[in-house]
Amino acid sequence: MTITRIDRGPRMSEAVIHGDTIYLAGQIGAPGESVTAQTKAVLAEIDALLERTGSSRNHMLMAQIWLADMNDFAEMNAVWDAWIADAEAPARATGEAKLASPDYKVEIIITAAKAK
């Protein structure tokens, strides 16, 4: 089976397609911005990557959301809920983690199916 890598770099690829499954790398927003701004930026990047890989919000299988601080859960969810309102919601997990820099507040990882 073919494996396709999108925006491949020395450390990682932004997306990997294996069969009909798409794996997105963790997406982050601009460092230092609010949770709302970072979440909006992350979701816009996810939309763009899903489109590039032949998928969409309606074909997401799993979302893993990492917050630097679980106190930001409601703020992130306000953006997520508006974004997912017109789509099929994926399975989802949210946890708190120390992210790559203290300036990052949210990181989202998506697994999706190709649209047929």
pTM over 0.85: yes
Specify the DSSP element, H or E, that contains 23.
strand 21-24
Give the domain 3-113 fold: 60s Ribosomal Protein L30; Chain: A; (3.30.1330)
**DSSP designation for 73:** H
What is the reported pLDDT for 1?
74
Instruction: Please give the full DSSP string across 29-69, using - where no structure is assigned.
Output: --TTS-HHHHHHHHHHHHHHHHHHTT--GGGEEEEEEEES-
Averaged pLDDT, 98-110 = 96
Q: What is the pLDDT of residues 30-81, one digit of tens each?
A: 999 999 999 999 999 999 999 999 999 999 999 999 999 999 999 999 999 9
**Residue 116: pLDDT band with limits 50, 70, 90:** confident
Per-residue pLDDT, averaged over 19-34, amounts to 96
